[in-house]
């Protein structure tokens, strides 16, 4: 019998990730003829026994290949758990890896025994051609955009494939998406994930997107975006859409057309977690910002990055610290919710000066509008392969992992930057996980004792620490951890009772 079953596996990006939509797997699955191929998408963020589910599918036979997507970090760990098991029992089934990490390090990815083929970059056409050649048992030599092992074990890299216009591709296969993927958010209501573009044309030194997309940005037309938004709203009774574009606001004309069409059609929906650049939105006049808000855009992700001009220049962010302040002054006139993302620990930068500059900037941002900055997080700079700063990190002592298992331990919370003292790594963790979280989410407990602990001890101490920039002897951590632990236990107990 001709093998025609294609298993696509979406590993957990984080240990506790739940109900995440596998948009990248849906993107490649849409290119395949469902009448010819039996496509199974197995999602680790939805299924608890996903290893057994995949093995059972393999045992039933007729499997053409197993495809896996992966970003650097925990997703590699989860992917390896599956691919190593499958390779052990079904060594004749080709295992294909795609996504950011395999694209950036195809040779290193193929060094693992459980990887046979790597799909690099935009995978829609590449994966379709690869499947057709596997199905017809043809050579892989002419397929642009892949790296693979030959029968002799040699690694070959075929030429890159340029990014294609997204409008050439069919819509995502929403038949794979049931109601379990609709998140019930306390603030935004029923939400689902969606993307309208791929890539990014900018050159940020810490980011590997430019390598993955070769500094290209491709997008759906405004008409198609609004048609699909309307379809999703009706199909899933949505209140909001989580926009997963790396950079949504690149084309001002496209944004204008999308917003005007949404308003014209009276589609009542919110757009949240929308990635935006400070310099881009500073180029939008008041009329455009009012239009964006009127169309339903409410929650923006802003890469503030740093309060240090040295850092902004090093990462080629193309903004000044003063631009950041001008942006928050401007945006505070509207009711946008802003998530401000910052980082600490750039190689070759004095950590103390960088830390103080960034906290000073946060202070000034909050002066313009406390409600405007709805959340902020300070991440540790992480040396991701493919970025400009990756080479600089190695010059300053970063030791690159030499296996997929080692890369699986890399993430935005890592402590693998030898140029940053343990003191400042600790400060960043305390600030983001405790102090800033409390500043932006001052949830009041129903328990009188816990409210008293926060009102009389924790909150005043946090304010004092922030004012005096003193983050040593962090005794509140034990109190908060104990409160959170007891809260989780009570929640589990209530679930068991019901």
**Structural tokens at position 345:** 């620990």
Per-residue model confidence (pLDDT) at position 497: 62
Burial environment of residue 8 by CB neighbours within 10 A (0 to 12, 13 to 18, 19 or more):
buried
pTM, to two decimals: 0.91
Per-residue model confidence (pLDDT) at position 369: 56
CATH topology of domain 166-441: pyruvate-formate lyase- activating enzyme (3.80.30)
Query: What's the rounded Cα separation, in Å, for the pair 455 and 392?
Result: 45
Q: Tell whether the torsion through CA atoms of 462, 465, 466 and 470 is positive or negative.
A: negative
Per-residue model confidence (pLDDT) at position 300: 96
**What letter would DSSP give residue 416?**
-
User: For the CA atoms of 185, 188, 189, 192, what is the dihedral angle to 10 degrees?
Assistant: -80
Per-residue model confidence (pLDDT) at position 159: 96
**Structural tokens at position 90:** 């079904």
Angle at 375 between CA 373 and CA 378, to 5 degrees: 115
**What letter would DSSP give residue 94?**
-
Per-residue model confidence (pLDDT) at position 432: 87
Per the listing, tokens 């951590």 go with: 477
- The residue among 326, 325, 327, 362 whose CA lies nearest residue 343 is 362
42 by DSSP, 3-state: which?
strand
- Quick one: three-class SS letters along the chain? CCCCEEEEEECCCCCCCCCCCCHHHHHHHCCCCCCCCEEEEEECCCCCCHHHHHHHHHHCCCEEEEEEECCCCHHHHHHHHHHHHHHHHCCCCCEEEECHHHHHCHHHHHCCCCCCEEECCCCHHHHHHHHHHHHCCCCCCCCCCEEEECCCCCEEECCCCCCCCHHHCCCCCHHHCCHHHCEEECCCEEEEEECCEEECCCCCCCCCHHHHHCCCEEECCHHHHHHHHHHHHHHHCCCEEEECCCCCCCCHHHHHHHHHHHHHHCCCCEEECEEECHHHHHCCCHHHHHHHHHCCECEEEEEEECCCHHHHHHCCCCCCHHHHHHHHHHHCCCCCEEEEEEEECCCCCCHHHHHHHHHHHHHHHHHHCCCCEEEEEEEECCCCCCCHHHHHHHHCCCCCCCCHHHHCCCCCCCCCCCCCCHHHHHHHHHHHHHHHHHHHCCCCCCCHHHHHHHHHHHHHHHHHHHHHCCCCCCCHHHHHHHHHHHHHHHHHHHHHHC
Residues facing 245 on adjacent strands: none
301 by DSSP, 3-state: which?
strand
Query: What's the rounded Cα separation, in Å, for the pair 333 and 350?
Result: 35
Query: What's the rounded Cα separation, in Å, for the pair 364 and 128?
Result: 51
Low-confidence ranges of the chain (pLDDT < 50): none
Per-residue model confidence (pLDDT) at position 356: 95
Q: Rounded to whole angstroms, what are the CA distances from 267 to 184, 185, 226, 253, 262?
A: 20, 20, 9, 20, 5
Alpha helices, DSSP H only, in 65-175?
74-89, 100-104, 106-110, 124-135
Residues facing 407 on adjacent strands: none
Per-residue model confidence (pLDDT) at position 214: 79
Domain ranges in the chain are 5-157, 166-441, 442-498
- The residue among 136, 137, 143 whose CA lies nearest residue 119 is 143
Per-residue model confidence (pLDDT) at position 498: 56
Query: What's the rounded Cα separation, in Å, for the pair 389 and 22?
Result: 29
* Arch. (CATH architecture) of 5-157: 3-Layer(aba) Sandwich (3.40)
Characterize the bridge pairing of strands 373-380 and 337-344: parallel
**Structural tokens at position 259:** 């917003």
């Amino acid at each position: 019998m001709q093998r025609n079953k294609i298993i696509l596996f979406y590993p957990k990006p984080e240990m506790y990730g739940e109900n995440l939509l596998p948009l990248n797997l849906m993107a490649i699955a849409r290119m395949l003829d469902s009448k010819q191929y039996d496509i199974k998408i197995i999602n680790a963020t939805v299924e608890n026994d996903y290893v057994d589910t995949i093995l059972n599918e393999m045992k039933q036979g007729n499997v053409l290949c197993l495809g896996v997507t992966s970003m650097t970090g925990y997703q590699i760990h989860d992917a390896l758990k599956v691919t190593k098991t499958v390779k052990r029992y079904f060594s004749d089934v080709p295992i294909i890896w795609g996504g950011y990490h395999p694209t950036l390090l195809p040779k290193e990815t193929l060094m693992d025994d459980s990887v046979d083929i790597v799909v690099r970059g935009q995978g829609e056409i590449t994966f379709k051609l690869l499947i057709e050649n596997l199905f017809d048992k043809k050579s892989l030599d002419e397929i642009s955009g892949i790296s693979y092992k030959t029968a002799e074990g040699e690694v070959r890299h075929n030429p890159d494939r340029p990014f294609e216009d997204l409008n050439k591709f069919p819509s995502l296969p929403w038949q794979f998406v049931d109601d379990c993927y609709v998140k019930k958010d306390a603030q935004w209501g029923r939400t689902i994930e969606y993307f309208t573009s791929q890539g990014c044309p900018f050159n940020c030194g810490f980011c590997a997107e430019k390598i993955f997309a070769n500094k290209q940005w491709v997008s759906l037309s405004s008409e198609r975006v609004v048609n699909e938004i309307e379809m999703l709203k009706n199909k899933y009774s949505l209140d909001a859409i989580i926009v997963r574009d790396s950079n949504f606001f690149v084309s001002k004309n496209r944004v204008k057309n999308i917003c005007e069409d949404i308003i014209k059609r009276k589609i009542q929906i919110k757009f949240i977690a929308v990635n935006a650049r400070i310099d881009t939105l500073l180029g939008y006049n008041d009329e455009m910002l009012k239009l964006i808000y009127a169309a339903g855009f409410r929650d923006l992700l802003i890469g503030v990055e740093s309060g240090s001009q040295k850092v902004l220049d090093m990462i080629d962010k193309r903004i000044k610290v003063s631009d950041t302040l001008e942006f928050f002054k401007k945006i505070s006139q509207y009711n946008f919710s802003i998530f401000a993302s910052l980082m600490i620990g750039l190689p070759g930068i004095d950590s103390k000066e960088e830390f103080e500059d960034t906290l000073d900037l946060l202070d000034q941002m909050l002066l313009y509008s406390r409600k405007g900055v709805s959340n902020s997080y300070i991440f540790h700079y992480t040396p991701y392969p493919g970025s400009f700063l990756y080479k600089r990190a190695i010059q300053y002592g970063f030791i690159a992992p030499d296996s997929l298992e080692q890369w699986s331990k890399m993430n935005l919370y890592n402590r693998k930057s030898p140029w940053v003292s343990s003191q400042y790594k600790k400060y960043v963790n305390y600030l983001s996980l405790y102090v800033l979280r409390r500043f932006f989410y001052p949830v009041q407990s129903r328990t009188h004792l816990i409210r008293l602990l926060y009102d009389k001890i924790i909150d005043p101490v946090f304010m004092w620490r922030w004012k005096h920039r003193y983050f040593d002897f962090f005794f509140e951590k034990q109190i908060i951890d104990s409160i959170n632990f007891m809260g989780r236990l009570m929640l589990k107990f209530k679930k068991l009772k019901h």
